[in-house]
Amino acid sequence: MALLLALAALAVVPATAAPPPESVCAPCQEGLEWNAHRHDIALDVTHSNATIQVHRNGSATWTVTSQFVHRVPDRYATGPNESLSDPSVLARDEGLARTIADGAADHTDDSVPEEIRHQSVSVENDTIRFQFLEPTVARQAPGGVVLVDEFRPDGPHTGWFVDVDRLRIVGPPGTTLVNDVESAVGDHGTVDGRTLTLTGNATDPPTLPADRFFLAFAPPGQWDEAMGTVAIASVTVPQFLGGLVATQLVGAVALALSLGAVLWLRRRRGESLDRKSLVIWLGVAVSMYLLPTLSLFGWVYRPVGLYLGPIPDLVRIAVAVAVGIGAWYGFGVLHGS
């Protein structure tokens, strides 16, 4: 009973510690507001538009245009607005504008250390426009496919919200978007050739149906969709197999040792099962191991919140030992029947 309670508690931990959804265009609003607040400027983004131009080498040029007002966003408000500077100072201080734009650009991906290359920034009235190059937005895949994995992070992730009026992701020249992304973006996105356009709202952002998805840009032709599928499989299949081995190896070894010990000890006592009974015994034992471990962690453990470290493997070992103890008695029942 204590083991079952412990397993149930572990199952709740990832859900309760799950991170919130992320912005599809962090530099457009969150990045600007956060970095402006860090530099004592009361800047609240009201509207924004952006374009991500993907290049064949896997990099992408971001062009962001955001409108703002002199106001502290609610999540940063700690006192009266008068204690912070008016954002109009950015139009007069190019260095400060560049610093804030650089900080906003760094919000594109906090999980991957990379050099974001700032290209330009301009501020006019209530609008800031800046451009930068992100080196790792996509990867080159078989068949000349450029596979954008910007929206498929490997770490803990629970989804995307669209806090931008319009975000255009444009594939390299001579390509078209070939994989089915409509189910991933729902009513908040449209596809036109090599362009995916996401539409949302800065003050009331909608959430995308999918929390992870690829964009596969391939040369147009009879087999373009098939090449997109192959390109995605070239990434996902090795990742799945690697994750499967990493996730299940410790538990599989522990279960094999546990059941092997039972068979060895029983045979030392001169006890054995016929083939049919042995298959039943093994099937029940493996099922009793898979039921709790898969319900808790799945075939491939992907944390959505708090990283549990070695705990999943310790749980699998504990379940394997418990199954081995049960298998000892189950062996005796089948042997005596």
Decide the pairing of beta strands 127-134 and 117-124. Answer: antiparallel
Q: How many CA atoms lie within 13 A of 106 on its CB side?
A: 11
| Tens-place pLDDT, residues 191-220 | 999 999 999 998 889 999 998 999 999 999
Q: What is the mean pLDDT of residues 72-94?
A: 75
Q: What is the mean pLDDT of residues 253-276?
A: 93
Q: Provide the pLDDT for residue 303.
A: 67
Selected residue with higher pLDDT from 315 and 84 = 315
169 and 40 in a single domain? The answer is yes
69 and 128 in a single domain? The answer is yes
Q: Provide the pLDDT for residue 289.
A: 96
Of the residues 185, 220, 255, the one at which a domain ends: 220
Q: What is the mean pLDDT of residues 293-303?
A: 84
For the chain, what is the mean pLDDT?
87
Nearest to 101 by CA among 31, 22, 165: 31
Q: Provide the pLDDT for residue 16.
A: 47
158 and 183 in a single domain? The answer is yes
* Beta-bridge partners for 313: none
107 and 209 in a single domain? The answer is yes
pLDDT of 240 higher than 60: yes
77 and 169 in a single domain? The answer is yes
243 and 200 in a single domain? The answer is no
Q: Which residue matches tokens 């760094």? A: 106
Residue 174, by phi and psi: left (phi above 0), alpha (psi -120 to 50) or beta? left
Tokens of 49: 């538009």
Selected residue with higher pLDDT from 82 and 220 = 220
Nearest to 48 by CA among 198, 210, 212, 160: 198
Residue 279 pLDDT level (bands cut at 50, 70, 90): very high
Q: Provide the pLDDT for residue 11.
A: 46
Give a yes or no: residue 266 inside a domain: yes
Highest mean pLDDT: which range of 5-19, 38-52, 144-158? 38-52
Burial of 256 (0-12, 13-18, 19+ CB in 10 A): exposed
Q: What is the mean pLDDT of residues 175-186?
A: 92
215/204 Cα distance (integer angstroms): 25
Q: Provide the pLDDT for residue 239.
A: 86
162 and 278 in a single domain? The answer is no
Q: Provide the pLDDT for residue 8.
A: 44
201 and 242 in a single domain? The answer is no
Q: What is the mean pLDDT of residues 224-245?
A: 89
Domain that holds residue 320: 237-336
Q: Provide the pLDDT for residue 109.
A: 61
Q: What is the mean pLDDT of residues 258-262?
A: 95
Give a yes or no: residue 13 inside a domain: no
> Worst-scoring range by mean pLDDT, 38-42, 89-93, 143-147, 298-302?
298-302
pLDDT of 3 higher than 50: no
> Worst-scoring range by mean pLDDT, 27-31, 69-73, 93-97?
69-73
pLDDT of 110 higher than 70: no
Q: Provide the pLDDT for residue 131.
A: 96
Q: What is the mean pLDDT of residues 72-77?
A: 73
Are 215 and 179 in contact, with CB atoms under 8 Å apart?
A: yes
Q: What total number of domains does the chain contain?
A: 2
155 and 252 in a single domain? The answer is no
Are 73 and 203 in contact, with CB atoms under 8 Å apart?
A: no
| Tens-place pLDDT, residues 247-256 | 899 999 999 9
132 and 188 in a single domain? The answer is yes
Decide the pairing of beta strands 160-161 and 22-23. Answer: parallel
Q: Provide the pLDDT for residue 118.
A: 86
Selected residue with higher pLDDT from 86 and 64 = 64
